[in-house]
């Protein structure tokens, strides 16, 4: 090639490199990440099946006094079975954001997993659900990790679940373009922070830093030799090697705190319900990792299948736990005034009761796809100037599948995934 | 006349040569047998299940089968956390911290490094190391006094190859 030709081609190639979008090793091609509203989202699935009648309509009094304004007294016939827990903070959560009173879980079976899956993927499950399989469409965690620039580590995305069964599968999908590589750290605290968990993991052999480095060298050698046979995502999500010690230490510290009795009554309420413990552990994750996206759920209200009054009581506990979660966020450097919390039930409950009567004479309620079991609320709370404060939207507005686009908008990647979603960001709430 | 004699002679020779060249090709067999080429690390296509990983690791380190109750106990954290490799890492470190774990002494390892490496590969990878692997691991062990048999076991049992069969 002549010198002049070489210079001409080289110049063109250099100019092209600067003007072309950057291509990641993963093959992802992106423009600059969009503007964020805040840097953290905590999504609280106020789940288990909560009817609007008992929550935002307060038909039996204000069973969510930390969330909802008003001092309506508890219905006298069930009052003895409902224990008030008091106020966590000075303000109600409703005042710190926008409350959609008539949100809808519009389509798909009103089952717990179906509801969880729909709200975490932004897609209604209209076909039969195979609870042994991961969702076919990406979860919010995968959207977040893949479309955040630079790609977010797994320690930035957590799914804290109160149950095993199919729920672990919600930390990533089987979508070929997403999957385990972009999944969230899944944890079910009630099982892992237990005697069995401690016996299995709580007393590890310790090595010096130099020995850890040597292990890394040997393991790297073994893995390189075996790389042609290793399947991507074969071990679920994997934390970055540099994050592994911190995650392991987090688990070990949790065991130590549990053994020291610090998990027995940490909120000074005389004990912790399953919901409370799950939220409490989510708070531990928040304090340790300050994740950019954390999803935590509660489901104790589902006792309503057999006991309405316990449902009302657990609704009050869930309300307390959610307010405590909010308070922890506000006390965590980095997340205070930089976090939006979204809360909603996965579905409601039927208008008509079943035949089971509790000790207070109330009939129990199932959730079998009737109109009322699709009626839910949605709370979006956050800093002033980021979330519209003290706003009550009473008309029918918003659906479960709008949560994923809303989180995407808050964290600045909605434009990149909007074509894959049918829901819309909750623009009435987020500034 | 002399020229035509020569031409006839040449034609006769060519014809004879042509017929002699039409012999059947001999089937020559060289003294080399067919060889199937396999991966040095063997064909391991399947990821061990939760129960398989735990019970095989237990047997490898404690020399006996795991009890049903111990398997159940160890399965709990496995199902409660998403990063399975991290949990496996912690399980192996807990196994290695048990006084019942059967691990060669450092003295034994350093007395015959070759043998230690061969036995370690056989025990955990179900194969012999190739020459390069043997040379590399031997060098690493001999050059680093901090490498103990436990450390080698830990690295081996948390490698990707150990997760497959």
Domain ranges of chain B: 50-163
Give the one of B72, B86, B160 whose C-beta lies nearest to A239's C-beta. B86
Checking if the pLDDT of A3 tops 60, the result is no
User: Inter-chain contact B154–A239, Cβ cutoff 8 Å?
Assistant: no
Interface test with chain A among B43, B78, B160, B161, by most A beta carbons within 10 Å? B160
Prediction ipTM score? 0.86
pLDDT tier at A90, thresholds 50, 70, 90? confident
Look up residue A138 and give its two tokens. Answer: 């990406």
Sequence-separated (6 or more) residues with CB below 8 Å from residue B114? B134, B138
A chain contacts of residue B81, beta-carbon cutoff 8 Å: 185-188, 192, 251
Give the one of A199, A204, A215 whose C-beta lies nearest to B155's C-beta. A215
Q: How many CB pairs under 8 A join A and B?
A: 159
pLDDT tens per residue across span A112-153: 999 999 999 999 988 767 777 899 999 999 999 999 988 889
A224 vs B: CB within 8 A: no
> Residue B22's pLDDT is what?
58
* DSSP helix/strand/coil, A240: coil
pLDDT tier at A6, thresholds 50, 70, 90? very low
CA-angle at A301, arms to A298 and A48, nearest 5°: 55
What CA dihedral angle connects A383, A385, A390 and A394, to 10 degrees? -110
Helix (H) or strand (E) holding A88: none
Q: Chain A: give the shortest CA distance to residue B91, in Å.
A: 6
pLDDT tier at A7, thresholds 50, 70, 90? very low
| A185-187 vs A22-23, strand pairing mode | unpaired
> Residue A127's pLDDT is what?
73
Radius of gyration of chain A (CA): 24
> Residue A146's pLDDT is what?
96
User: Inter-chain contact A226–B160, Cβ cutoff 8 Å?
Assistant: yes
Put simply, the chain A residues between 151 and 180 with a CB less than 8 A from any chain B CB are: 154, 159, 164, 168, 171
Checking if the pLDDT of A255 tops 50, the result is yes
| A391-399 vs A97-104, strand pairing mode | parallel
User: Inter-chain contact A218–B47, Cβ cutoff 8 Å?
Assistant: no
pLDDT above 90 covers what percent of chain A?
84
pLDDT tens per residue across span B84-139: 999 999 999 999 999 999 999 999 999 999 999 999 999 999 999 999 999 999 99
**Nearest-angstrom CA–CA distance, B87 and A223:** 18
A199 vs B: CB within 8 A: yes
Alpha helices in A364-410 (DSSP H): 403-410
Put simply, the chain B residues between 39 and 58 with a CB less than 8 A from any chain A CB are: 39-41, 43-45, 47
B chain contacts of residue A185, beta-carbon cutoff 8 Å: 81-83
B90 vs A: CB within 8 A: yes
A chain contacts of residue B133, beta-carbon cutoff 8 Å: 221, 225
| Residue that the structure tokens 């796809």 belong to | A369
**Nearest-angstrom CA–CA distance, B115 and B137:** 12
What does pTM read for this prediction? 0.86
pLDDT tens per residue across span A163-182: 988 999 999 999 999 999 99
pLDDT tier at B3, thresholds 50, 70, 90? low
Helix A403-410 to helix A112-121 angle (10° resolution) is 40
Contact assessment for residue A90 and residue A385, using Cβ atoms and an 8 Å cutoff: no
pLDDT tens per residue across span A292-316: 999 999 999 999 999 999 999 999 9
**Nearest-angstrom CA–CA distance, A48 and A64:** 15
User: Inter-chain contact A208–B146, Cβ cutoff 8 Å?
Assistant: yes
> Residue A427's pLDDT is what?
97
| Residue that the structure tokens 């009890």 belong to | B67
Average pLDDT for A221-235: 85
Give the one of B77, B147, B158 whose C-beta lies nearest to A201's C-beta. B77
Put simply, the chain A residues between 370 and 409 with a CB less than 8 A from any chain B CB are: none
Helix A244-259 to helix A274-289 angle (10° resolution) is 140
A chain contacts of residue B82, beta-carbon cutoff 8 Å: 159, 168, 171, 183-187, 236-237
* DSSP helix/strand/coil, A67: coil
pLDDT tens per residue across span A273-293: 999 999 999 999 999 999 999
Lowest mean pLDDT among A131-135, A217-221, B153-157: A131-135
Q: Chain A: give the shortest CA distance to residue B108, in Å.
A: 19
User: Inter-chain contact A201–B94, Cβ cutoff 8 Å?
Assistant: yes
pLDDT tens per residue across span B31-63: 667 766 666 556 788 889 888 999 999 999 999
> Residue A281's pLDDT is what?
97
Count of residues making up chain A = 431
**Nearest-angstrom CA–CA distance, A2 and B89:** 58
Domain ranges of chain A: 44-205+244-420
A205 vs B: CB within 8 A: yes
Give the one of B82, B136, B150 whose C-beta lies nearest to A236's C-beta. B82
Put simply, the chain B residues between 104 and 133 with a CB less than 8 A from any chain A CB are: 133
The single-letter DSSP state of residue A333 is T
What value does the mean pLDDT of chain A take? Answer: 91
CB neighbours (10 Å) of residue A131?
A: 12
> Residue A375's pLDDT is what?
98
Residue of A nearest to B157 (CA): A219
Checking if the pLDDT of A30 tops 60, the result is no
CB neighbours (10 Å) of residue A344?
A: 25
What value does the mean pLDDT of chain B take? Answer: 87
Put simply, the chain A residues between 25 and 54 with a CB less than 8 A from any chain B CB are: none
pLDDT tier at A28, thresholds 50, 70, 90? very low
CATH assignment of B50-163, given 1.10.3130, 3.30.70, 1.10.3210, 3.40.630? 1.10.3130
Side-chain-side CA neighbours of A78 within 13 Å: the count stands at 26
Look up residue B9 and give its two tokens. Answer: 């002679």
> Residue B4's pLDDT is what?
63
Lowest mean pLDDT among A186-200, A328-342, A384-398: A186-200
| CATH code linked to domain A44-205+244-420 | 3.40.720.10
pLDDT tier at A23, thresholds 50, 70, 90? very low
**Nearest-angstrom CA–CA distance, A377 and A392:** 11
Q: What is the DSSP string of chain B?
A: -HHHHHHHHHHHHHHHHHHHT-PPPP----S--------TT-----BPPHHHHHHHHHHHHHSSPPPHHHHHHHHHHHHTBS-HHHHHHHHHHHHHTSTT-----HHHHHH-HHHHHHHHHHHHHSS---HHHHHHHHHHHHH-TT--HHHHHHHHHTSTGGGB-
Q: Chain A: give the shortest CA distance to residue B43, in Å.
A: 8
A chain contacts of residue B121, beta-carbon cutoff 8 Å: none
Checking if the pLDDT of A31 tops 50, the result is no
Give the one of A159, A171, A200 whose C-beta lies nearest to B94's C-beta. A200
């Amino acid at each position: 090639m002549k010198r002049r030709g070489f210079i001409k081609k080289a110049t063109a190639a250099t100019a092209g490199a600067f003007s072309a979008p950057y291509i990641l090793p993963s093959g992802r091609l992106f423009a600059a990440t969009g503007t964020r509203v805040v840097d953290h989202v905590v999504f609280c699935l106020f789940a288990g099946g909560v009817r609007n009648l008992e929550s935002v309509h307060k038909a039996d009094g204000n069973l969510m006094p930390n969330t909802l304004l008003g001092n309506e007294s508890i219905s006298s016939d069930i009052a003895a079975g409902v224990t008030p827990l008091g106020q966590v903070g000075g303000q109600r959560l409703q005042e710190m954001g926008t409350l959609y009173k008539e949100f809808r879980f519009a389509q798909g079976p009103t089952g717990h997993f179906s509801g969880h899956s729909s709200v975490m993927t932004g897609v209604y499950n209209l076909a039969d659900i195979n609870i042994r399989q991961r969702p076919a469409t990406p979860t919010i965690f995968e959207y977040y990790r893949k479309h955040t620039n630079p790609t977010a580590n797994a320690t930035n995305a957590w799914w804290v679940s109160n149950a095993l069964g199919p729920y672990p599968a919600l930390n990533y999908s089987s979508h070929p373009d997403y999957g385990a590589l972009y999944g969230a750290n899944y944890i079910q605290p009630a099982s892992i922070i237990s005697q069995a968990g401690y016996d299995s993991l709580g007393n590890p052999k310790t090595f010096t830093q130099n020995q850890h480095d040597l292990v890394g060298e040997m393991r790297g050698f073994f893995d390189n030799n075996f790389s042609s046979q290793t399947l991507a995502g074969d071990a679920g999500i994997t934390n970055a090697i540099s994050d592994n010690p911190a995650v392991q230490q987090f688990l070990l510290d949790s065991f130590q705190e549990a053994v020291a009795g610090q998990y027995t009554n940490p909120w000074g309420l005389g004990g912790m319900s399953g919901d409370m413990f799950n939220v409490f552990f989510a708070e531990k994750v928040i304090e340790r990792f300050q994740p950019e996206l954390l999803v935590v759920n509660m489901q104790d209200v589902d006792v309503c299948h057999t006991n309405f009054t316990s449902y009302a009581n657990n609704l009050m506990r869930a309300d307390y736990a959610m307010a405590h979660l909010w308070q922890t966020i506000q006390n965590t450097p980095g997340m205070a005034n930089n976090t939006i919390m979204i809360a909603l039930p996965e579905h409601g409950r039927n208008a008509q009761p079943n035949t089971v009567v509790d000790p207070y004479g109330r009939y129990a309620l199932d959730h079998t796809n009737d109109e009322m079991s699709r009626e839910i609320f949605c709370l979006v709370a956050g800093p002033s100037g980021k979330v519209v404060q003290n706003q009550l939207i009473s008309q029918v507005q918003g659906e479960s599948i709008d949560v994923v686009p809303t989180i995407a908008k808050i964290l600045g990647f909605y434009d990149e995934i909007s074509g894959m979603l049918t829901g819309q960001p909750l623009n009435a709430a987020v500034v | 006349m002399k020229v035509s004699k020569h031409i006839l002679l040449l034609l006769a020779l060519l014809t004879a040569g042509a017929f002699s060249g039409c012999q059947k090709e001999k089937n020559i067999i060289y003294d080399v047998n067919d060889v199937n080429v396999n991966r040095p690390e063997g064909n391991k296509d399947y990821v061990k299940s939760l129960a398989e990983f735990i019970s095989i690791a237990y047997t490898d380190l404690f020399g006996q089968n795991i009890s049903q109750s111990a398997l159940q106990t160890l399965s709990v954290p496995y199902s409660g956390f998403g990063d399975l490799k991290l949990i496996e890492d912690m399980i192996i470190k807990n196994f290695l911290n048990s006084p019942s774990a059967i691990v060669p002494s450092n003295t034994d390892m350093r007395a015959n490094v070759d043998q230690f490496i061969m036995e370690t590969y056989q025990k955990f990878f179900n194969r012999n190391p190739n020459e390069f692997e043997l040379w590399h691991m031997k060098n690493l062990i001999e050059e680093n006094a901090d490498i103990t048999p436990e450390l080698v076991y830990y690295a081996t049992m948390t490698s990707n190859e150990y997760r497959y069969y």
